[in-house]
Amino acid sequence: MFLSDSEKKTVSKICDALRKNKNFILTSHQVPDGDGLGCELAFFWILQRLGKKALVINELLPPRVYSFLPGFSEVLPFDAYKEKEFIPDAAMVFDCSSKDRVGKPLLLIPESATVINIDHHQGNSLFGDVNWVCKNRSSVGEMSFFIANYLGLLDKRVAECLYVSILTDTGSFRHNFNSDTINVVSELLKTGIDPENIADNVYHNNSLQALKLLGYALISLQYEPTFKVAWSVLSEQIFKKIGATEQDIELVIDILRSVEKTDFVFIVKERRDEIKFSLRSRKHFNVRKIAENFGGGGHNSAAGFSIRNCTLELAIEEFFRYLRKNITDSD
């Protein structure tokens, strides 16, 4: 159902690897988003039912808004991991275009382990022993549905996790989805999950810190009509002052995207030793191309990059220099 023949082969290969191995590491990019986390937790439950041991670990904790998901309390940040006896023979890596996006949890994956790479980023480096990369899929959650379904292990818990993957990676069904996505969602809904309750948990659960961060971002909101771009800068000081975390910027960037007459928006964030740019586009503007020019990557509609050893002012100057040279009205 909705899979090409070659995809069917890959799904069956992944399922073989799930059956064959015993101890799994489930991971995603350093700070997992709804898609990465949804997949980690879906497979946490699937592997339990297959009688396997699964450790869900990320470099940092996932956003708190997802704490309603079944299994959230099982997710470990790397620094809290102490167990010595757990020797993984396989790892599932979700939503990562390259291995280094995983960060510290890589240290726990032995050379001998079978790495299963499931992703939907264009330009994935195919770092796994088994790779399923499909840039036309809305989310890794959409892809994971087929594995759960193949194994006959799609239950309500798994469906709830995968629904969150799809809901969040499509921006609540606003972008990057097609009729396949809706068909998958239809199967997920048949398990009895409650989409209204899930949306309420995901979107009406903002921390005060995230809202205060939004306040600061809106005060410093800027707009450049030449490039139809809206943007804002968030210094490390602001993050410290209000106790906001990196993840709190998702809300900010979502609101920025609503500014009228914009092709794309970006947030510049000051980190200890780098300046991080998060870019989001509207319509069909490609922000991945811009991010790649600065050594980053992502999707056409959501991308990012970092500039090291540079001040905030110089990084922004360099960014606009690039825009002046490369972005024209016809883009």
Which residues make up the interface to Mn ion (CB under 5 A)? 35, 95, 139, 169
User: DSSP label at 116?
Assistant: E
Q: How many residues bind ligand 5GP (CB under 6 A)?
A: 12
* Minimal distance, residue 274 CB to Mn ion, in Å: 23
Residue 205 exposed, middle or buried by CB count within 10 Å (0-12, 13-18, 19+) = middle
Strand ordering across the sheet containing 222-224 = 222-224, 229-234, 264-270, 274-281, 302-308, 297-298
Query: Do residues 232 and 222 touch, judged by C-beta distance below 8 A?
Result: yes
Site string for ligand 5GP, 288-327 (x = CB under 6 A): --------xxxx--xxxxx---------------------
From the list Mn ion, ligand 5GP, none, partner contacted by residue 52 (C-beta under 5 to 8 A by kind): none
Instruction: Kindly write down the DSSP assignment for every residue of 38-52, as one continuous string.
Output: HHHHHHHHHHHHTT-
* Minimal distance, residue 287 CB to ligand 5GP, in Å: 9
- Name the residue nearer to ligand 5GP (CB basis): 47 or 230: 230
- Name the residue nearer to ligand 5GP (CB basis): 21 or 207: 207
- Name the residue nearer to ligand 5GP (CB basis): 103 or 298: 298
* Minimal distance, residue 134 CB to ligand 5GP, in Å: 15
- Amino acid code (one letter) for 11: V
From the list ligand 5GP, Mn ion, none, partner contacted by residue 160 (C-beta under 5 to 8 A by kind): none
- Name the residue nearer to ligand 5GP (CB basis): 239 or 305: 305
- Name the residue nearer to ligand 5GP (CB basis): 45 or 305: 305
Residue 278 in contact with ligand 5GP, rule: CB under 6 A? yes
- What's the full length of the chain, in residues? 331
What is the CA 120 to chain-centroid distance, rounded? 10
Q: Which of residues 83-112 bind ligand 5GP (CB under 6 A)?
A: 97
* Minimal distance, residue 186 CB to Mn ion, in Å: 20
Residue 50 exposed, middle or buried by CB count within 10 Å (0-12, 13-18, 19+) = middle
Q: What are phi and psi of 220, to 5 degrees?
A: -95, 15
Residue 133 in contact with ligand 5GP, rule: CB under 6 A? no
* Minimal distance, residue 198 CB to ligand 5GP, in Å: 21
Q: What are phi and psi of 65, to 5 degrees?
A: -60, -20
Residue 188 in contact with ligand 5GP, rule: CB under 6 A? no
Neighbours of 248 (CB within 10 A): 25
Distance (Å, whole) CA 57 – CA 104 = 10
SS3 32: coil
CA dist 22 to 17, 111, 128, 306, Å? 10, 16, 18, 37
From the list ligand 5GP, Mn ion, none, partner contacted by residue 29 (C-beta under 5 to 8 A by kind): ligand 5GP
From the list ligand 5GP, Mn ion, none, partner contacted by residue 278 (C-beta under 5 to 8 A by kind): ligand 5GP
* Minimal distance, residue 275 CB to ligand 5GP, in Å: 11
From the list Mn ion, ligand 5GP, none, partner contacted by residue 35 (C-beta under 5 to 8 A by kind): Mn ion
Residues at the interface with ligand 5GP (CB under 6 A) = 29, 97, 278, 296-299, 302-306
